[in-house]
Structure 1
């Protein structure tokens, strides 16, 4: 039986931030050898031996390509020398080789045309246009995990994998970043996994085998995108004392301060990172169990919400160490702050009992199994999309909220045919959402007539 694929998380790349032609990763022979040796050592300590073998095979393929290119260059030089030596036979070739030379010329011209056409077709297929929607998916099959970069052509309705990156440990969450220490205006993705470190990958580099930066390491190898990295045997993963001590379960970059990245971990803490320096600015230990969600407020730059397996939601003012609001009303699977009020927090923390006693706006049993994601689009504030482990995606109309009937009205339910849904993200295009289950699915709500009519899609 084939191993099942699981797409654990998805995120969109803002339009216009991807390079039209991503660059290839350039590696030196010494670096390839060191990585092969390092991965061989890791394979002896890790259970993910299949993934290590695939990485080694990819490195060997890259090395083979480089050797082939050198061989072709030598062959070309040899052919030029042979041409010089054959000049004396030109008279004989002129008499008996007319038809042969004509045929060879015709064949050469045809091959050149085919080669040029193939290259043009390949370039056209590889180009990423500003109008394309780019989705990053964290995919795992057996012990092999990768980041798949999908291109969605809205006009044609097509969806395909442009390139992928092997990312190591099982990925749990993704977040797009526009910067990292020492670099601005980049096309990056932060990856949280079962490891306590946060990897940052450059989406504009093809066949990359290492992240360009890792949050939580005390020492960082200096590397530029698409250029050769100086090989340093001294580069070792020395974990910073401010790093997480458990799996990274959630990542969220502030919509108002792009340098602020929040992380939530199974080590019962939440952290805020400075992407300009790579340092941890603050650690919050206000939960008593795994922290599953961290989410910045969309209009109040200092407010951060967290949700935990301890069945509480905490609203923090990161300028102060105290909890601003606490609620203890059930298990949290997902959280959306965009409809929260933006009033200033009180000087003292609101007690859990008082928060729990506050009137609830509404509550709805959205799915028959755990709800894993809630998503809205800024242009469609009254439309809410949810998905869950019951294998369905649902669309809710928030204009028809009725507390007597327990929440908003469900206007559509769809089985996306990819098993349990683990992630959902709204794109920049009105009504288009990306989902992760056993594979990636793009759902354009405008294709459903009554949804399109209700929200003018």
Structure 2
């Protein structure tokens, strides 16, 4: 694959800093990054050692011979360097024109009577001499127009939305932060964040997390789940940051000694699920909007974890499924009830305060892709599946067993996996489905009679994400992304069929207007639909069913 967007989420208007700050690295950060690099190097060396031991290792006598050869070669190099140094010194002694520059002391540690270091320029009266620690005016750029221009380029207006997109491009994973200017019909990448592995889910957070949050009570942060078991949290108001504000998981332990990592690495057995951190890919994240310090995560290790963002520690761990858990959603009103969906073909609604209580459980025919509470009537929730189905259930009619599940209605929305799903936050009965068949479909489900309004291919490849904008003024804007690695913003209110279907619920939609779709211009070398990612029949789940995750 050359480029792919696996997940997106919106940031509502007015929460981003109008002028994001440029990250400036300090000594403490350098030391932390250096420590991390050393630990990663030790892990790599340990892996290399293990690999050599498995192959039978290398004969010690051969290693000694190689070392002796290297030593002999180094001795020869030293002799050559000494000879060159002697020749250069003799040449300098004979060249009167160069004596005044005192080249013998160009790297000297000697100091003069004032205690300043002697350099080769110290004796050149015609050259400007700057003492160590002194700023060179020719190297320091004056503040002015350049700073103002850069500041203006970073500016985010209160009327702008941010759109966050997890992307992998030529095997490099990163999070792209887009700015969407609705009135100007403009979408562009503001900055990006490098990630350690393929991103699988992103969740916006309004609570400051991790270092340097001070007394702030609100913020603009993002939690990212990847193929790695750790969850990274980044400050979106800081540009060019080198390290996340917090890491939820084993990688975030401050006292995780290299010896412990070696022990873990040398153990060939796959780590077992535990109550403290995930041990496999993170497939879904859900922030609790009422208890803002709580973040739920679902993993391929078959557990759901509840994280306290104040401490960056796991508060609870739940095992309500017997296969990978790929979807989560908090109840909009009952703030402690969490909906979870799994590849075990069940959906569970559980109260996180009572993990030992019997949770309500529903069953479906194929693997779950998405779960979502109906924000307009939380007595109901939706499930989409790998088989192309959409189900609507009444939470008040929990079945005695998953096999006895009876949905309010069932919809065959697509012929292949319904990989993405969303509910319009402003208009009741307006939902969207996206599929690996490359189609996006808008539905009117008023009076529990689902009917398709329009179906479109938006040239994003296989669709992995469809999300409505969160603000009422732009709630008809739909972000669509997929296997081509591009994002399209579709103003669905400009579609004639949408205007006819929902005009009674929003009179402002009356009349005809030109249809509007906004995207970022791509290079001519963009990948085509064919051959850019695993085939659906081979991999099953396109977004999160990667080969490494399908291993038991």
Q: Same fold (TM over 0.5)?
A: yes
Find the partner of 1:174 among 189, 199, 202.
202
**1:133-172 CA deviation, whole Å, 9 max, x = no partner?**
1011111113211111100100011000011111211111
- For structure 2, the residue ranges without an aligned partner over 5 or more in a row are 45-130, 265-273, 382-393, 510-552
Aligned-partner SS, 1:76: coil
Establish whether residue 335 from structure 1 lines up as the match of residue 371 from structure 2.
Answer: yes
Structure index of larger Rg? 2
RMSD: 3.4
**Counterpart in the other structure of 1:22:** 20
> What displacement does 1:117 show?
5.7
Structure 1 runs (4+) greater than 6 angstroms displaced: 70-73, 232-240, 342-346
**Counterpart in the other structure of 1:416:** 458
Establish whether residue 261 from structure 1 lines up as the match of residue 295 from structure 2.
Answer: yes
Quote the Cα distance in structure 1 between the aligned partners of 2:251 and 2:43: 22
Establish whether residue 370 from structure 1 lines up as the match of residue 417 from structure 2.
Answer: yes
Judge conservation of contact 2:425–2:475 (CA < 8 Å) in 1.
no
Judge conservation of contact 1:14–1:134 (CA < 8 Å) in 2.
yes
**Counterpart in the other structure of 2:220:** 187
Quote the Cα distance in structure 1 between the aligned partners of 2:14 and 2:499: 27
Quote the Cα distance in structure 1 between the aligned partners of 2:249 and 2:34: 24
- For structure 1, the residue ranges without an aligned partner over 5 or more in a row are 47-69, 80-111, 222-231, 403-407
Establish whether residue 198 from structure 1 lines up as the match of residue 196 from structure 2.
Answer: no
Quote the Cα distance in structure 1 between the aligned partners of 2:395 and 2:345: 22
Identify the range of structure 1 (442-451 vs 28-37) with the bigger mean alpha-carbon deviation.
28-37
Judge conservation of contact 2:203–2:286 (CA < 8 Å) in 1.
yes
**Counterpart in the other structure of 1:320:** 354
**Counterpart in the other structure of 2:113:** none
Quote the Cα distance in structure 2 between the aligned partners of 1:270 and 1:250: 9
Aligned-partner SS, 1:292: strand
**Counterpart in the other structure of 1:145:** 173
* Paired residues for 1:287-302 under 5 Å: 287-302=321-336
Quote the Cα distance in structure 2 between the aligned partners of 1:71 and 1:176: 46
**1:333-372 CA deviation, whole Å, 9 max, x = no partner?**
11121144179989xx96652x543432111111122111
**Counterpart in the other structure of 2:52:** none
**Counterpart in the other structure of 2:2:** 4
> What displacement does 1:439 show?
1.3
Find the partner of 1:35 among 33, 36, 49.
33
Judge conservation of contact 1:435–1:441 (CA < 8 Å) in 2.
yes
Aligned-partner SS, 2:373: coil
Quote the Cα distance in structure 2 between the aligned partners of 1:208 and 1:132: 22
Quote the Cα distance in structure 2 between the aligned partners of 1:37 and 1:254: 34
**1:159-217 CA deviation, whole Å, 9 max, x = no partner?**
00011111211111000011245643111100111111111011111111211001124
TM-score by length of 2: 0.63
> What displacement does 1:72 show?
13
The 1:378/1:323 distance shift into structure 2, 3 A limit, reads: farther
**1:106-138 CA deviation, whole Å, 9 max, x = no partner?**
xxxxxx9xx966654443332001100101111
The 1:206/1:235 distance shift into structure 2, 3 A limit, reads: farther
Establish whether residue 76 from structure 1 lines up as the match of residue 104 from structure 2.
Answer: no
Judge conservation of contact 1:179–1:276 (CA < 8 Å) in 2.
no
**Counterpart in the other structure of 1:360:** 407
How many residue pairs are counted as aligned between the two chains? 382
